[in-house]
Amino acid sequence: MINLKGKQIYLRALEPEDLDFIYEIENDQSVWQISNTMTPYSKFLIKQYLENAHKDIFEAKQLRLVICNAEDLTIGLIDLFDFDFRNKRAGIGVLIKDEANRQKGFSKEALELLIDYSATHLDLHQLYCNVSEDNKMSLKLFKNYGFEIVGLKKDWNLVNGSFKNEYLLQRILK
């Protein structure tokens, strides 16, 4: 059995019961700049997405896992995206939904678990992430897990009428 359990959290596959949680996240405008979302999502579309969540990463080119705490409460999501098996790489992103659950080590554990899974089960060579220049917490998180800044994309994202720079970070796994 694949161990996706940490000390404080565990990762699990998406379930139909996650509809309201994902709906709230996808329609929270405060996180749209992180996910490059520009429009709200309907429950209908999210339900369709969940119905197709059974596809494996090789078919869907992405893997979204739910982060749950020790009390089995859903607190966030962690994703592998742009999965490229031929070149053995994928993008990675993590989000803890509520401010009250941030800075408690949940993202760290989730990231650690998914990095290990990516190396041992998916045989990936590298992971990368895109982080806004002003997102100091995410930059610190990824740097603490061996991601290095390999580039700066200038004026990359338009946020509230201003262009923001975005870092590209990369970690070679093996």
Helix 136-144, helix 106-120: angle, nearest 10: 40
Average model confidence (pLDDT) across the chain: 90
pTM of the model: 0.89
Identify how many contiguous H helices and E strands the chain contains and give both numbers: 6, 7
The answer on pLDDT for 155 being more than 70 is yes
pLDDT at position 1: 43
* Locus of tokens 């554990």: 109
The answer on pLDDT for 130 being more than 60 is yes
The answer on pLDDT for 122 being more than 60 is yes
Average pLDDT over residues 139-157: 96
Coil, helix or strand for 36? coil
The answer on pLDDT for 2 being more than 70 is no
Average pLDDT over residues 109-127: 97
Distance CA 91, CA 56 (A): 16
Q: What angle do CA 63, 133, 144 make, to 5 degrees?
A: 60
The answer on pLDDT for 9 being more than 50 is yes
CATH class of 9-132: alpha beta
